Structure formats: C-alpha cells, structure tokens
Structure 1
Amino acid sequence: MSTRTNSGEDDVRIESRDQLVEPMQRGEKPESQWRIGTEHEKLVYKTGDFHAPSYGEQGGIRDILMSMRQFGWEPVEEAGPDGKVDVIAMSGDDGTISLEPAGQLELSGAPLETLHQTCAETGRHLTQVKTVGDELDVGFLGLGMWPDKARADLPLMPKQRYAIMKRHMPTVGNLGLDMMLRTCTIQVNLDYSSEADMVKKFRTGLALQPLATALFANSPFTEGKPNGFLSYRSHIWSDTDPHRTGMLPFVFDEDFGYERYVDYMLDVPMYFVYRNGIYIDAAGQSFRDFMKGELPALPGELPTPADWWDHLSTAFPEVRLKSFLEMRGADGGPWNRICALPAFWVGLLYDDTALDTAWDLVKDWSMEEREGLRNAVPAQALGAAIPGGGTLRDLASEVLDIAHAGLVARGRLNSMGDNESGFLNPLRQIVDTGKVPAEVLLDKYHGEWGGDITRVYEESF
C-alpha cells in the first residue's frame, strides 16, 4: 500500500462530485508522456535461521532501511499516537522503498519512459538490497507468499494504518490477514490518454489479468507444505473483503467511465482518516457520509482531496484506477520476472494496434466466463479452460505474440540497438515448457528437496 505523504491539499474541502472525478481526469496524458511505474515486493528473512525479522531487532527491518542511506536514500518518518517516531520508508531517485505489513520490502519505482530504464532501476535496487543483506545477515525471497511461516510467526510493522487494517480484516473475510502478512506481489502502473482510452485499457487488463496471474503463479506452499494451489496469493484475494476486491463487472457496462468508478469507490467502506499525523480508525464507515459531514469518526468534517486519494488506495480489485491504472494480478518473483511483468502489459496496452487486437480476443467473453476463469486460475494456472475452448496456455502464446508486436512497434531501443521485446523471454519459456514457476518449485519439493521446504531459501532473490 502507498506510503502517505503531504498532499498540499489538506486545507481544501470536497464539496462537489467534480472533485472526486478530478484525479482521474488529471491522469490523462498524451502518449509522449506515458510512463511505466513498477512495484515489487520481496520477503525478508535472517540467513541464520530463516525467521522474519521484526522492525526493531538488531539487523531487522529498521536497520535495513537505514542502511540504504549509503546509496542516497533518505528516511521517511511517521509519528504514532504516543509520539514515537519510526522510519517507515526511504525516498530516493528510484522512487520509494516502503514496508508492507509484516516487513515485506517494496520498491515503488519511479515513472520511467522505457522498459530498459525499468529493468536498470530494478537491477540497481536488487544490488543495493543484496549489499545491505550481506552486511546484516539478511536474505530476500522472491515468492508470492511465505512458504513456511504461520501468521503468528510474522511481525507487524509500526505503521498506524496497519493496526487499523489488522483489526478490521477478520470482520469481512477469512484470509485478509494472510493477504497483509504473508503475500508479495509485482504490479505495474500505466497511463491513459483519455477516458475512452482508460476504459479500453481497464477492460482489456481485467479480462487478461487471469493470464498474468497464471504466468506469474508462484505461491504453492503454506506453512511448509503444498497448499493445492499454484497461486495461493490470488486465492487469498477471493476471501479477503468482497467490498473492495474482484473483477468489477460494471467495468464492462456500456456506460463505464470515471463517474461509475467514483460510484464504486463511494460504496467501498473506509479504513481510516489521516489528521495531524494520526490515522483515525474509520473502518467500515461510508465516504458518502463523509461527503455530508456525517462520518462517525469525524462528525461535522468534510473530506479533503487527500482523504479521497487515500481512499482510492484502499480498494484492491484486479485492476485499480487512481490517476493511472494499476495491474495487480501477479505473484512476487525473482529478478527476470520483475522485468517481464511490465513488458507484458506495456506491450499490450501502450500500442493501439496491440490493444485493439488484445481486446478483440476477450471482448465477447461473458461476465460469468471472466469470473469463472479468474476463479480457476489460482489452482490450475495455464491449465484453466478459456471461453470457446482450449486453455490459458493456448491463449498465452497468442497474447505474448501481440505483446511482442506492441513492444517492437514502440521502438524504444537501448544503447545496443535492442528493442524491449526481449523482456518477454521468461514468459515465453514458461509457455513453451507448460510449467509456471509454482510447478517448478513443486517438482523440486517432491524431488531433489525431499520435502524439505527450507531448500526454497536456496532459490533466493
């Protein structure tokens, strides 16, 4: 989840619906200004005994963050209600390094023009964290979920919002705490030129999100044993909070646009309101009531644009709209697959011909078929049946061809004259072998590892 920063709008109050639509309209950019923002999380463990380090222990999460100063990163602090100040993130030229609830370390990368730049950024970050890891006896694991940790084994980071979410999650779903504490993801943030362009990209992204989930499926273990899924992380989202997750059927309605997304967000229950450095618990309360000055947590107050932006960040559908589109379906993974996810989506969505071709593949699917595919993928991955016959593996080859053509058409070359299409190669290999990353790990677990889950740490980042 995003790290809160001052917006400069705390003195403005929202008094009209136009102000709710404004962030999405503000996101419209000409193609020349489209950028790629890549976010990736990794699991952190101590190399001596593989435990997940707490925030404050020696060589723990705070020490990891502060050690990043040697590479030019600067601390971002948050004071709690007791006045205690904690470092909750690091800010630098490559974006923000932040903490997920149980200490998963996330790079929210800078908005970049090309995939070459994105992959260079990723490489810099991983080199830096490995250097820090060697200094502090810490390792990093690229998976979609902790393979061996129970909830009770994991710490909670000292970010105020996480305490609110941890209290609220068990009231709305059975697996919300697993989402918070045990999962990792890769996601890509992309731009649009107009409302119509946003709509087409949103629909195509939602329809093909199960394919991304399948290609990146990488969470087959729970507490040391196979869990019966290939992307258990994706399954977790199906029982986290139905009010703020899912495939969003209304996106495929003829009248979908900014206004419909605003309506959806107004009906997503709130988590919190941020005032004077404090996160006030508003879990389950209504932003519609907030607009009327009737929020129980802050009676008589109207929301600010910053409150609305915070609220936009607390919905977790398969694709999310703010002032850009977020593609959210992939499990965490190692270096080469971090670069492959933005390549997949940029190739499909940043070239008009590719976008039209991709949409043509999926536009006739019914909502029932889309939901069925999304529900089948966590267990079956590329083996899931697609509407009209065949499997996702069959569709994957065609979609990767479209993405390849889109990247070639973009014509973004590196210093060697290479275009961006090579970043799709790890996905080609997955489709060619028919084995998603989780299946490769399961083969090792049942074979050379002899059922010893600690061997997964040899597959480190």
Structure 2
Amino acid sequence: MSNKIDALGDDAIIETRDQMIATFEAGAKPADRWRVGTEHEKIVYRIADHRAPSYEEPGGIRDLLDAMTAYGWEPVLEGGKVIALKGSDGAISLEPAGQFELSGAPLDNIHQTCAESNRHLKQCHEVGDKLGLAFLSLGFWPDKTRDELPRMPKGRYDIMLRHMPRVGNLGLDMMLRTCTIQANVDYASEADMVAKFRVSMALQPLATALFANSPFTEGKPNGFKSFRSHIWTDTDPHRTGTLPFVFEDGFGYERYADYALDVPMYFVYRDGKYIDAAGLSFRDFLAGKLSVLPGQKPKVGDWIDHLSTAFPEVRLKSYLEMRGADGGRWDRICALPAFWVGLLYDSVALDAAWQLVKHWTPEDHARLRAEVPRLALQAASPNGGTLQDLAKSVLAVADGGLARRARLNGSGDTEQGFLGPLHEMAATGVTNADKMLAAFNGRWGGDMAKVYAEESY
C-alpha cells in the first residue's frame, strides 16, 4: 500500500485537466532508462509466542524501526512518531497492523533486485534476533483474528479503518491481515503504457495463481489458495478489481484519469495531518466544493495522493504497478519482477504475450478474476486447458524476453534463472498454497504453529 513518503509533494494548484494528465506523461521514458521497482511485505511476529507485536511495546514495531537506522536508514515522522524509513534501498514502511514493507529503489535489473532484498532481509534478521522478532512469508496472517492484531499510528490508516466497513465486508482483512509482492514497471509512451496495461491486466490472474500463498484463516484451511486475492473482491467495488475499459478502443491517460476521478476520496493531507474526506468526490474538490475544505482546490500533490487510493489489479501512476501477487518466500520476491520484466520490457515478448490474450472477452477476464483465488493453476484457461497450461506458454515468452535483455551478473548469468520457481510450478501445477495444505493435512497434523518454522524468511 502506498504511503505519504511516496508522494511527489507538488504544491501547484490544479487549474486544468492537463495538469492531471501530466502526472502520467511524466512517467514516459526511453527504454534505456526503464527500471523495475519491487515491493514486498512481511508479517512480523514474536518468536517466543508467535504474537503480533504492537507499535509501542518494548521490542515492538517502533523499536524495530529505530534499530534499522543503524544501517543508514533515515526516520520519517508523523505526529512525532517514526512510521517509515528512507534510504538508498528505497523506503521501509508499515502496513496497518505492522506488516513490514520494503519499497525498493528503481533498479536496472533483477540481479540488483535480489541483492537489495538480500541486504534488507539480512538487516531484518540481525535486528529481529536482538528483539526476539521474526518475519513470516505468507500472503495472509494464518492464525490471527482481526482483534488480535495491533494498529499502527498513521492518520491515513485511521481514516481507512473507519471507512472500510461502510463499503465492503473484507476491507479490514485487507488492511490488517494481508501481505503482497508488487513489481513496478516503466513505459516509453502512452501507446506503450496501453500495450503493457492490457497484457498485465489480462495476465494478472495468472500471477495470482503462480504466487498463491494464503490458504489459511484463523488456524484452518479457508477454501482458497489465495485468500488475499479473494479479499479484494469484497473490499470496495469503487476502487478495486479488473478494469474492462482498459481493453476498449481509445484507452489512454485520459480514460484512466476519468476512472480515478470517479474513485471516492479517502483523505486530504494538509499541514502534516490527514483530513477525513472518505467517500467524497475529487470532482467536487476540483470545483472548490469539497465539504471538508470549502473553497479550496486540490494541488497536484493531492491528485498524486488520490491516485494511490485506487486499488485495481494494475494501477497507473507515473509507472505501472503489478498488484496481483501474494507475499511469499525470498525467491518469489525475485521471481515476480522477473516475470513482468520478461513479458513487458522486450517488444517481441510483449507482442507474443498479447497474442495469447487479445481474444479474451470481458466474461473471460471476469471469470478468471472470480475463479483463480480458489483454484489457482487449476482454473480453466480461456485458451483451453488450465492456467497451468497457460503458465507454460507465458513463462516461455517471459524467458525469451529476459534472454534478449541479456542483463548479466558477475558470473555471466542472465535474469532467466529467477523464473525457476515459476517454471517448477508450471510443470507440477503445485503452488506454495498447495504444498502448505498438503503439509497441514499430513505431516503438520493440523498444527498451524508449524507454518512459522517452515515459512519464515
């Protein structure tokens, strides 16, 4: 989930529609300047009893953030409290119940992404060992109720926590109990953005299936392989899901801006505080008619903040965000950006991927979005067979894209190796969710505590 630390802070008053479109136009850059950013969230727990630590308690989340400053991270304050960190490896931030997120720096290749993740996880281990904390690599808290989880001291989250129950049944679960891996990619032009948006929106369910890693709720199987993905279907219909208009003629920056303008607001940030605007209209804000700030018009920074409060499966800011994957193990942190870079950063691969999905109907997209959280790779593919079959074809395309990119490490290896865990799943049809369910019903003997031993970083 995006945080205020990510905003550009532009104080110019929005006078024209062109200023909003310029946010997207500013992201366009030539291919030699394309980068990939990787974000991943982790569940923090106490080693002694698997409890979720609060912010304030000794050895809790505040102390975790404070201890990370020994590695050069600089504190970011809200209301006098450290709620994030910034540094050369990007930013560290907190999700609403203390899920610990690294929003990595924009990097040239996946070798660098994995080195970044290694540095971060090494720091987490070293600090965690001192504080008695560890980090779980699932997409959903496997054994905690909402009431067992703490709340972080962030004004944005206070507003959202109040608003979520008004618009969906599972929004609080999304905020408090989920974790994701996300990849952020660049585009060269509006046309290139459209091509990448269409391919990635179509294939987001496949990414969800490959990364399915949230089959437990409150200590028992929940009937899903990616419960995290299912949660988004009942969070807030005005700001989530697939976007059918992406596949329509004429889609581009302006059409996405219209969509974002119709997404209800959450807040306005003024003088270091979040003003509750939940459910209000950004169009009214543009007209100077926002009830909580009468007579005021938005700044460009407000528009950038507002874009971060839409949660479709693919999101446009000044780059494209791939949002379909559950949180997962270290090799998945590297595999997700490799998957998307392989498909989207090579023109041959991008065209080949489009050929696989261009005939899909709106009904196909909707069915996949509905079925994949429960069935993962065993969901039916619009191309015939299952998503397991589709995964083999898509991964072959991504593999070719990474080979042609030819980004080598010091040993002369391309980025193709990072797809290894995904190739294994495509070959077997077995996701990490499937493996955990088999263990739970087998050698774990129904003991959910075993998940901490086997699925921690």
TM norm structure 1 = 0.98
The answer (yes or no) to whether the contact 2:8–2:304 under 8 Å persists in 1 is no
Q: Which amino acid counterpart does residue 71 of structure 2 have in structure 1?
A: F
Deviations 1:205-258 (A, max 9, x none): 000000000000000000000000000000000000000001100100101000
1:428 aligns with 2:423: yes
Output one character per residue of 1:145-185: Cα deviation in whole Å (capped at 9) or x when no partner: 00000000001100000000000000000000000000000
Select which of 377, 380, 384 maps to 2:372.
Answer: 377
3-state SS of 1:238 partner: helix
The one-letter amino acid of 1:137's match is G
After superposition, the C-alpha distances for 1:370-408 in whole angstroms (9 at most, x for unaligned) are 110111000000000011421000000010000000000
Q: What is the aligned partner in structure 2 of residue 82 from structure 1?
A: none
RMSD: 0.7
Residues 283-309 of structure 1: CA deviation (Å, up to 9, x unaligned): 000000000000011010000010000
Task: Report the CA distance between 1:4 and its aligned residue.
Answer: 1.3
What corresponds to 1:50 in structure 2? Answer: 50
Contact 2:383 2:390 (8 Å CA) reproduced: no
1:249 aligned residue: 244
1:345-384, Cα deviation, whole Å (9 max, x unpaired): 0000000000000010000000111110111000000000
Question: SS of the residue aligned with 2:250?
Answer: coil
Q: Equivalent residue of 1:43, what SS?
A: strand
1:13 matched residue in structure 2:
13
The CA distance in 1 between the partners of 2:195 and 2:383, in whole Å, is 22
Cα distance in 1, alignment partners of residues 384 and 344 from structure 2: 25
- Give the 3-state SS of the residue equivalent to 1:129 in structure 2: helix
**Counterpart amino acid of 2:30?**
P
Find out whether 1:389 has 2:390 as its counterpart.
no
2:272 paired residue number = 277
Indicate the residue corresponding to 2:440 in structure 1.
445
Query: What does residue 93 of structure 2 align with?
Result: 98
Q: C-alpha distance in 1, partners of 2:382/2:8?
A: 45
In structure 2, how many angstroms separate the alpha carbons of the residues matched to 1:215 and 1:52? 28
Distance 1:202 1:361 in 2: 15
Equivalent runs, 1:119-130 vs 2, <5 Å: 119-130=114-125
Distance in 2 of aligned mates of 1:235 and 1:3: 23
The 1:244/1:8 distance shift into structure 2, 3 A limit, reads closer
Partner residue of 2:66?
A: 66
* 1:344 counterpart residue number: 339
Aligned residue pair count: 455
Shift of residue 9, structure 1, vs aligned partner: 2.3
Q: How does 1:146-295 map to 2 (within 5 A)?
A: 146-295=141-290
Given the alignment of the two structures, is residue 412 of structure 1 paired with residue 413 of structure 2, yes or no? Answer: no
Taking the aligned partners of 1:124 and 1:433, their CA distance within structure 2 comes to: 31
What is the SS of the residue equivalent to 1:453? coil
> What residue identity is the alignment partner of 2:235?
T
Q: CA deviation at 1:432?
A: 1.7
Aligned amino acid, residue 335 of structure 2: A
Mapped to 2, the partners of 1:165 and 1:434 lie a distance apart of 37
CA distance in 1, matches of 2:123, 2:211: 24
Deviation of 1:71 (Å): 0.9
Give ranges in structure 2 of 5+ residues lacking alignment: none
**Amino acid of the structure 1 residue aligned with 2:98:** G
User: Match of 1:255, SS?
Assistant: coil
Supply the AA of the counterpart residue of 1:270. Answer: M
In the TM superposition, what is the alpha-carbon distance from 1:8 to its structure 2 partner?
4.6
Runs of 4+ in 1 over 6 A off after TM superposition: none
Partner of 2:140: 145
- 1:249–1:8: structure 2 CA closer, same or farther, 3 Å change rule? closer
- Structure 2 contact 73–86 (Cα < 8 Å) conserved: yes
CA distance in 2, matches of 1:349, 1:73: 32
In structure 1, C-alpha distance between the alignment counterparts of 2:9 and 2:400, rounded to whole Å? 42
Task: Write the letter of the residue equivalent to 1:190.
Answer: V
Q: Give the Cα separation in 1 of the matches to 2:202 and 2:451.
A: 32
Distance 2:321 2:303 in 1: 17
**Contact in 1 for aligned 2:263/2:310 (Cα 8 Å):** yes
How far is 1:429 from its partner? 1.2
Which of 110, 119, 134 aligns to 1:115? It is 110
SS in 1 for 2:202: helix
SS of 1:330's equivalent?
A: strand
Find the residue that maps to 2:103 and give its secondary structure. Answer: strand
* CA deviation map 1:131-153 (0-9, x unaligned): 11101000100000000000000
Are the counterparts in 1 of residues 425 and 431 from structure 2 also a CA contact under 8 Å?
Answer: yes
Counterpart amino acid of residue 417 in structure 2: G
Q: Secondary structure at the match of 2:28?
A: coil
Alpha-carbon distance, 1:3 to partner: 2.5
**Residue aligned with 1:266, SS:** helix
What residue in structure 2 maps to residue 400 of structure 1? 395
Matched, 1:88 2:120: no
